[in-house]
Amino acid sequence: MTKPDKRVAVLSPIAWRTPPRQYGAWETVASNITEGLVARGWDVTLFASRDSVTRARLHAVVDKGYEEDSAVDPKVAEYLHISEAFERAAEFDLIHSHYDFMALTYTRLVKTPVLTTIHGFSSAKIMPVYQKYRDGYFVSISDSDRAAGLNYLATVYNGIDLSLYPLQEAGGDDLIFLGRIHPDKGVHLAIEVARLSGLRLIIAGIIQDEAYFREQVKPHLDDQNILYIGPAGVPGKNELFARARALLHLNTIPERFGLVLVEANAAGVPVIAMDLGSCREVIKDGQTGFLVDNVTEAVRALGRISEIDRRACRSRVRQYFSIDTMVEGYERVYSTIFDLEAKRRP
Amino acid sequence: MTKPDKRVAVLSPIAWRTPPRQYGAWETVASNITEGLVARGWDVTLFASRDSVTRARLHAVVDKGYEEDSAVDPKVAEYLHISEAFERAAEFDLIHSHYDFMALTYTRLVKTPVLTTIHGFSSAKIMPVYQKYRDGYFVSISDSDRAAGLNYLATVYNGIDLSLYPLQEAGGDDLIFLGRIHPDKGVHLAIEVARLSGLRLIIAGIIQDEAYFREQVKPHLDDQNILYIGPAGVPGKNELFARARALLHLNTIPERFGLVLVEANAAGVPVIAMDLGSCREVIKDGQTGFLVDNVTEAVRALGRISEIDRRACRSRVRQYFSIDTMVEGYERVYSTIFDLEAKRRP
C-alpha cells in the first residue's frame, strides 16, 4: 500500500465545527484522524462544516455546525452533507464515516468501501439500521462499546494531540468535573464526593439536561466549594488541569470511550472513574487513576491519589491514546479493507 | 409505451399508513395514484408502512407509520424506508417519490429516473435541497404552489375516489370545518363566520397546534353552536357532508392544493374558501362555492349558497379531480420522462 495512491474521504459530523471550538467529541476525533493522516502523507478530503480548520482538502456544503447556526435545519443540513460525500464516492478509495447510522443508508449505493467508526449507540431505536448494514466495515472505539453481530475490523482507541495538554507537574487541590451536564455523567455523584471529602469541586461543560442542572446541580453551587464555570475549551481545560488533584468521572451508564479521561491523564491529572463500560480500558487502576463502583470508593480513592505518578499518566496516554497510535490503528484497518476489496473485485 | 413493460415504484411517506386511517393527505394521494395505476394495468411496487392496504406489490421495512408507533424513531424509520427504495432502484423504470426533500438526496446515486411530486414546501429551510436537485423531475399539485427554478414537468391536481363520497343531494343547515387545527387553516375565522351568521359550526380534524386549540378554539366550544368532534375518517366526513350547508376553508396562508375542498365538492357540499394559493384552481367561484378575502365576504357568501348546484360541484370533481384524471396526468408525465431518458441514453 503506497499511501499517496489512496484517496480517503473523512465524513465528519456537522453538529459543530471540525475541530469543535469547545464541546464536540466526535468532531474532535474526526479532526484528529484527518490531521494525523495528512501528517503521515495521506491524500485526505474532509467533509465538514465550511468554517472547519484542516490541512486536508475541505469540502463543505453547510457553513456552520447546526448547533451553532439557528438559520439551518439540522435534518436538512445532515441530508445535504452526507449525500454530498456519497455523490463524490468515485473520487475516493475509501470513505471513513463518523456520521452515525444515517450515512450507512447510502453505503450500498456506491462502489467505494465505507468504514464507519461507531462513536456510540445513542438509542436502542437506531439499532435496526446497524443490523441491516451489519456486513459493512466497522471500528469500535472501545472493546466494551460493541453491538452483537456487526462486522468489526478492530477497536481503535481515540487519540488526542498531547501537545494541547502539557504536563501539569504539581497539580493542585481541587477536584474537577469535565463533561456534559447530564445524569449519564454523574455530576451529582461528583458533588457528593466533593462534600464528603471536603474538597472544592469545579464543574465545567455544556448543560445538556436543563432539568437535571436545575434540580441536582444548581442547588449545590455556592461560589466557594462547588462551582460551575460553563463549557471549557482547550485553554479552559488546561487551567482546570493545573489546579486539579483529580478528575472525577462517575458516569452512571457504561462509558463509550471517555476522551476527557485521556486529556486529564495527558496533563498528568489522575482520574477517578466509575468502573462502567470503557473506563477500565482507558484508566489503568492504581497507575493512572482509580476505578470505583460507588461514591464511598471514590472518596477512599482520593486518599490514595498521591500514589499516582503524574508522568506515568502522560506516558500511558502517549503510548495508547496519541493521534499517532490512533492513526496507525486506522492505517491497519484501511489496509485490511483495501486487501478485502482487491480480493472482492479481481 | 406499453404499460406492462414499465415497472414503477411509488415511494409513499410513512408518517401514517397508506392510505391513512384518518388524517394524512400525502399518503392519501400516494395511495390514490398507486391504486389508479394498478387499475390501469401498471406494474407498481408501493414502498409504504407494512400495515398499508394496496393492490400493488407492497414493500415495507417499517411496521407502522411513525405517528402511530411510539416504538419507532421517525428519523431512523425515514432513513431506512427511503434508502430501501433506492437500493432496489435497478428493479424499476421509474421511482415516483412522495417523500419530500429527503429522497432527493439519494437520486444521483441511482440510474433510475426519479419523479418527485412536491406536496408542499414545509419551510424555507428545506429549499436548499430543492435548489441543489432542481434539474430533477418535478410535479406540482397546483400552479400556485411552485418554487422558482425547479424542473417542473407539469401540474397534476390531486384526485380522489369519488365513490367514497356519495352525493348528498339535500345537505343540511350546518357549517363544517375539516382539517388540521392550526392557525394556517383559519379555524378561528370559521368560528367568527359561524357566530356572525348564527349557524352551527362543526369542527373536525387533528389538533396540530395545541396552544392554538386551547386559546382560540376551545373557549368557543359550547356543545350547541360550536362543536369540536376530533378527527374524522371517511365515514365521519360523510356524516358531516350530509348535514352541511357549506364547508368553510378560510386558510390564512396560501393553500397548496386543498384535498378536503374536493372531497366536500364531491359530496355536493359548496365550499367557501379564502382566495389564497390553490383555492382559486380548485373552487370555481360562483359554481362550486365562493372565493372570499375575509370573514365579512364569507358571511355574505353564505347568503348566496342556494345558488350553488350540488350536482355541478360533483361533476366538476369528476372532471378535474378524480383518480382517473390524476393518473392520466401522471401517465403523460411518465411518458415524457421515458422519452427524455431514452434520448439521454442511446
The whole-angstrom separation of Cα B88 and Cα B51 is: 21
pLDDT at residue A346, rounded to an integer:
64
Beta bridge partners of B71: none
Cβ distance of B73 and A129 shorter than 8 Å: no
Cβ distance of A76 and B106 shorter than 8 Å: no
B76 in contact with chain A, both atoms CB, cutoff 8 A: yes
The whole-angstrom separation of Cα B59 and Cα B56 is: 9
Gap from B72 CA to chain A (nearest CA, Å): 6
The whole-angstrom separation of Cα A147 and Cα A204 is: 31
In chain B, which among 88-117 make CB contacts under 8 A with chain A? 101-102, 105-106, 108-110
Minimal CA–CA distance to B24: which of B67, B53, B61, B63? B67
The whole-angstrom separation of Cα B311 and Cα B317 is: 10
Question: Closest partner residue to B129 among A76, A82, A128, by Cβ?
Answer: A76
Confidence class for position A4, pLDDT limits 50, 70, 90: low
Chain B contact set for A125 (CB, 8 A): 71-73, 76
CB B117 within 8 A of CB B96: yes
Q: Which run of H or E residues covers position A81?
A: helix A74-87
Q: Which amino acid is at A189?
A: L
CB A118 within 8 A of CB A133: no
Distance from the first to the final alpha carbon of chain B = 17
Q: Where do the H-state alpha helices sit in chain B?
A: 25-39, 74-87, 100-104, 127-132, 187-197, 210-212, 234-242, 259-266, 279-282, 295-302, 310-320, 323-344
Read off the C-alpha cell for A185. Answer: 455523567
Exposed / middle / buried, residue A71 (Cβ in 10 Å: 0-12, 13-18, 19+):
exposed
In chain A, which among 182-241 make CB contacts under 8 A with chain B? none
pLDDT in tens, A174-183: 999 999 999 9
Confidence class for position B3, pLDDT limits 50, 70, 90: low
pLDDT at residue A3, rounded to an integer:
59
Cβ distance of B79 and A101 shorter than 8 Å: yes
pLDDT in tens, B8-40: 999 999 999 999 988 888 999 999 999 999 999
CB A247 within 8 A of CB A271: yes
pLDDT at residue B23, rounded to an integer:
81
The whole-angstrom separation of Cα B71 and Cα B84 is: 20
Q: How far is CA A317 from CA A46, A227, B152, B164, B216, in A?
A: 26, 28, 58, 70, 61
Question: Closest partner residue to A80 among B75, B80, B105, by Cβ?
Answer: B105
Read off the C-alpha cell for A303. Answer: 486518599
Cβ distance of B110 and A105 shorter than 8 Å: no
Question: Closest partner residue to B76 among A108, A110, A128, by Cβ?
Answer: A128
pLDDT value at A323 more than 70: yes
Which residues 6+ apart lie within 8 Å of A130 measured at CB? A101, A104, A118, A121, A147, A150
The whole-angstrom separation of Cα B335 and Cα A165 is: 64
Global confidence as pTM: 0.90
Confidence class for position B86, pLDDT limits 50, 70, 90: very high
Read off the C-alpha cell for A160. Answer: 488526542
pLDDT value at A191 more than 70: yes
Chain A contact set for B105 (CB, 8 A): 79-80, 82-83
B309 in contact with chain A, both atoms CB, cutoff 8 A: no
Beta bridge partners of B140: B118, B155
CB B211 within 8 A of CB B181: no
pLDDT value at A345 more than 90: no
Question: Closest partner residue to B126 among A73, A86, A132, by Cβ?
Answer: A73
pLDDT at residue B346, rounded to an integer:
64
CB A115 within 8 A of CB A139: yes
In chain B, which among 238-257 make CB contacts under 8 A with chain A? none
CB B11 within 8 A of CB B83: no
pLDDT in tens, A225-250: 999 999 998 999 999 999 999 999 99
Q: What is the mean pLDDT of residues A247-275?
A: 97
pLDDT at residue B344, rounded to an integer:
85
pLDDT value at B2 more than 60: no
**CA A241 from centroid of its chain's CA atoms:** 18
pLDDT in tens, B317-336: 999 999 999 999 999 999 99
pLDDT at residue B52, rounded to an integer:
98
Number of Cβ within 10 Å of residue B242's Cβ equals: 17
The whole-angstrom separation of Cα B210 and Cα B212 is: 5
The whole-angstrom separation of Cα B336 and Cα B346 is: 16
pLDDT value at B224 more than 90: yes
Gap from B177 CA to chain A (nearest CA, Å): 32
pLDDT value at A1 more than 90: no
Q: How far is CA B315 from CA A339, B165, B284, B310, in A?
A: 68, 13, 12, 9
Confidence class for position A22, pLDDT limits 50, 70, 90: confident
Cβ distance of A125 and B80 shorter than 8 Å: no
Chain B contact set for A72 (CB, 8 A): 125
Cβ distance of A132 and B80 shorter than 8 Å: yes
Minimal CA–CA distance to A307: which of A232, A262, A246? A246
